[in-house]
């Protein structure tokens, strides 16, 4: 890793701070309970999700195409479905919130996110779990129209930071996303546990 001191710390959200937003296990749990044909849903999920998580269609459009229009006999509405989707979000690691709070309190770093998420789910999670108080800004796929691990989302993060990539640190639970960040010149920690994150931060001279 570069010896340049860290000035900006970018966090992933799902898999580090919170549970994922709408992953396969969550989809199976919610949709099966509603009587949705899960295999039919999964057959079209990725294609429609490409547009949803990039902020190119709304949540209502996404669920209309993937659930509501393909399961008309259920008489299900978006207003009934959306709270169930949101209800799948949980705090994953409270200790990671403690680390985040310590970094914020130190006043030494700019804190931001780089996450793949739709606009609506991202807004719900930022508000419900009070994440706005920790971060200076948010690089979300639903805002910048590109997703990790493709380079444009990292380019947007660095451009918005106004600082060189070698002064940025990225924390993510997926190795491929960390590799992509390093390829862009950033430092990266592949998150495995809160204890491992603390140790990795300490190795970089970041006190938590």
Q: Are residues 115 and 199 in the same domain?
A: yes
Which pLDDT does position 172 carry in this prediction? 98
Q: How many domains does the chain have?
A: 2
Under 8 Å between Cβ of 54 and 147: yes
Reported as a single tens digit per residue, the pLDDT across 182-194 is 999 999 999 999 9
pLDDT at residue 1, rounded to an integer: 58
Strands annotated E in 5-117: 8-11, 110-115
Q: Which two tokens stand for residue 51?
A: 């547009």
What pLDDT score does 152 carry? 97
* Pairwise CA distance, residues 85 & 30, whole Å: 7
Could you tell me if 42 and 132 lie in one domain?
no
Burial class (CB in 10 A: 0-12, 13-18, 19+), 42: middle
Distance, CA of 106 to CA of 57 (rounded, Å): 39
CATH of the domain at 179: 3.40.50.1000
Tens-place pLDDT, residues 125-151 = 999 999 999 999 999 999 999 999 999
Helix (H) or strand (E) holding 197: helix 194-203
In this prediction, the residues of the chain whose per-residue pLDDT falls under 70 are: 1-2
pLDDT for residue 86: 98
Q: Which pLDDT score, from 0 to 100, does residue 148 have?
A: 98
DSSP state for residue 72 in the 8-state scheme: G
User: What SS3 state is found at 14?
Assistant: strand
Q: What domain range includes position 165?
A: 8-20+90-203
- Residue where one domain finishes, among candidates 86, 105, 122: 86
pLDDT at 2: 62
How many other CB atoms sit within 10 Å of the CB of residue 121?
Answer: 22
For the whole model, what pTM was predicted? 0.95
Q: Cα(133)–Cα(89) distance, rounded to whole angstroms? A: 18
Token pair belonging to 147: 């997703």
pLDDT at position 3: 78
- Give me the pLDDT at residue 17, please: 98
pLDDT the model gives residue 119: 97
């Amino acid at each position: 890793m570069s010896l340049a001191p860290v000035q900006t710390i970018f966090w992933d959200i799902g898999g580090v701070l919170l549970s994922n937003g709408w992953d396969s296990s969550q989809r199976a749990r919610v949709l099966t309970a509603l009587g949705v044909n899960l295999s039919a849903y999964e057959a079209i999920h990725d294609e429609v999700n490409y547009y949803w998580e990039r902020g190119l269609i709304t949540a209502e459009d996404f669920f209309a195409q993937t659930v509501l229009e393909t399961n008309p006999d259920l008489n299900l509405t978006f207003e009934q479905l959306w709270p169930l989707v949101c209800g799948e979000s949980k705090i994953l690691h409270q200790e990671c919130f403690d680390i985040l709070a310590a970094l914020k309190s130190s006043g030494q770093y700019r804190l931001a996110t780089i996450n793949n998420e739709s606009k609506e789910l991202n807004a719900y999670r930022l508000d419900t779990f009070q994440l706005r108080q920790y971060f200076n800004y948010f690089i979300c796929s639903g805002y910048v129209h590109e997703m990790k691990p493709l380079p444009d989302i990292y380019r947007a993060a660095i451009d918005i930071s106004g600082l060189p990539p070698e002064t940025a640190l990225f924390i993510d639970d997926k190795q491929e996303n960390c590799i992509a960040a390093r390829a862009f010149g950033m430092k990266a920690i592949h998150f495995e546990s809160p204890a491992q994150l603390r140790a990795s931060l300490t190795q970089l001279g970041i006190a938590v």
